[in-house]
Amino acid sequence: MPKARVLFLMLLLFALPALAFAGSQNFTSSGTFTVPTYVSLTVTVNGSGGGGGGGGGGAYIFYGNGGDGSAGTSGGTVSFNGNVIGNGGGFGTGGGGGTQDGGGGSSAGSTGSNGSSGTASGGDTNTTGAGAGGGTGGGGGFTANPDCQQLPGGGTGGNGAAGGKAVKTYSVGQLTPGAGITVTVGNGGTPGGGGTSAGCAASGTAGNAGTKGSVSITWTDPAAPTVTTSAASGVTINSATLNGSIAATNGSDATQHGFAYGTVSTLTTVIATTTLGSKSGTGSFSGAVSSLSTGTTYYVRAYATNSNGTGYGSIQNFTTASPTLTINKAVTINGDLNITGALSKSSGSFVIDHPLDPKNKLLYHSFVESPEVMNVYVGRATLDDAGKATISLPTYFLPLNKDFRYFATPIEVAMPDLHLSVKVKPRFLGLLGTPVFTIAGGSPGGEVSWMVTGVRHDPYILANPIIPEVQKGAGAPYAQGMYIHPELYATSTKQK
């Protein structure tokens, strides 16, 4: 796929992720809702609550019975577009008035009945009694005047019930932008009046009005596509397949989509983009890239553009493989060979013309092998008059090595007390200077052969340690059941 190799600021191509904005409108009275351009629009309809019944009036001895409280009225119906409906809650009935028989006998008024909860219809969810609340019933009349010979009071009025609640969500195309939708909001139920009293007994109190219903509308505005970046696949030494997806179009299809990638982790700069053209709807997409550098980490993010803007996925990364070369024949290299990385072999040696017969013979010497990454330092030293010798090591010895081991052998003369008196440390006060160690206990003027070994601990070997024993299989050069030298084990190279 052709691509321009350009350098430009992400502030121009990838400024900020596209944002989806939202709007809302509430109706507490009837009106007309003008449909906006939207991606998703949700309507919540709350039916009005019913009114509470009035309380009954109190009775008074010899003067008569208290009057009954009156009933409230039902809550009004609330609707959107005539088909998403929250019905009003039912009314509470009035409480009965207190009674007396003229001879001192009496009875309390009855309690009013509560209203029935309003129902709902037309929504994706319709819940009975979850809309606007109903009014509570009024209290029955009952005097506390000590000069009155009071009798039991009137009954409490019944409570009005809550209206029904309907919730409906519209997707793109179900409502026409610019169209007017009728919204009807009925009133809350009116309260019932309190019953009258006789004599000095108290009258019943009025009930409470039901809460007026409402219509609440919220919507999300059209926005740039919602995009996801997935892991790259098919990664080779110089190519890869980039993967992404459009999770939501947010109002309109993509007119362009693809990937941007580069070697800067924040993608503040990119080295190339892939453009895949328009895309209808949601779904995954891929793009192949080539001419990548080997052994290099690349950072990538997917993008998609529609009429509302450009949306971007998160930044992912992948690393191209380093090249490998398999040669199944002997190779002769006439010249230097530099290897950046590890060298693994079944055996190793140097070969030169034999010093005693260079015309007719070759001389081989094997490498010194070890499970540790070991460095070896050797030399000879002459002891001073005190039988001591301070021996200098290379200046890089301490940064390169750890876990030192010491060996010293007297030459021609036995030195039973020969020993290491000072371990390796910087020469001056153990803080500065060339690394040195001291041998003591030898014969004055004697000669000693010495060897010091150290295990590498430089940054490269710490990042790339040599592991002596490795299971064949995943991550290893050979699968389980495969042999490097099958002829030595009387088997084939194929897995058993």
210 within some domain: no
**Which residues contact residue 386 at a Cβ distance below 8 angstroms, ignoring those fewer than 6 apart?**
440, 444
Domain assignment present for 216: no
Q: Give the integer Cα–Cα distance in Å for 415 and 307.
A: 92
Question: Residue 102: CB partners within 8 Å, gap ≥ 6?
Answer: 62
Q: Look at residue 399 and tell me if it is in a domain.
A: yes
Q: Within 10 A of 465 (CB to CB), how many other CB atoms are there?
A: 11
Task: Specify if 393 maps to a domain.
Answer: yes
Give the integer Cα–Cα distance in Å for 105 and 99.
9
User: Does the pLDDT at position 62 exceed 70?
Assistant: no
Which one is predicted more confidently, 188 or 147? 188
Choice between 162 and 149, residue whose per-residue pLDDT is larger: 162
Q: Find the mean pLDDT for residues 215-236.
A: 93
**Contact between residue 213 and residue 185 where contact means Cβ atoms under 8 Å apart:** yes
Q: Determine, yes or no, domain membership for 68.
A: no
Of the residues 300, 319, 338, the one at which a domain ends:
319
Q: Judge whether 425 lies within some domain.
A: yes
- pTM for this one? 0.53
Separation between Cα atoms, residue 249 and residue 254, nearest integer Å: 7
On whether residue 35 sits in a domain, the answer given is no
For residue 174, is pLDDT > 50? yes
The alpha carbon dihedral of 264, 270, 274, 279 has a sign of: positive
Do 276 and 230 meet the contact criterion of CB atoms below 8 Å apart? no
pLDDT band at 168 (very low <50, low <70, confident <90, very high): very high
| Whether residues 381 and 301 fall in one domain | no
* Domain contains 230: yes
pLDDT at residue 473 in the model: 83
Segment 290-305, tens digit of pLDDT: 999 998 999 999 999 9
CA distance 30 to 27: 7
227 and 302 fall within a common domain: yes
Total number of domains constituting the chain: 2
pLDDT tens-digit map of 323-342: 777 777 788 888 888 877 77
Q: Are residues 314 and 383 part of one domain?
A: no
Q: Which domain holds residue 409?
A: 375-463
d(CA 379, CA 391): 9
User: 3-state class of 11 per DSSP?
Assistant: helix
Higher pLDDT, 92 or 260: 260
Q: How confident is the model at residue 207 (pLDDT cuts 50, 70, 90)?
A: confident
Residues in CB range of 479: below 8 A, 6 or more apart: 472, 473, 495
The yes-or-no verdict on residue 12 having pLDDT over 80 is no
Domain of residue 233, CATH code: 2.60.40.10
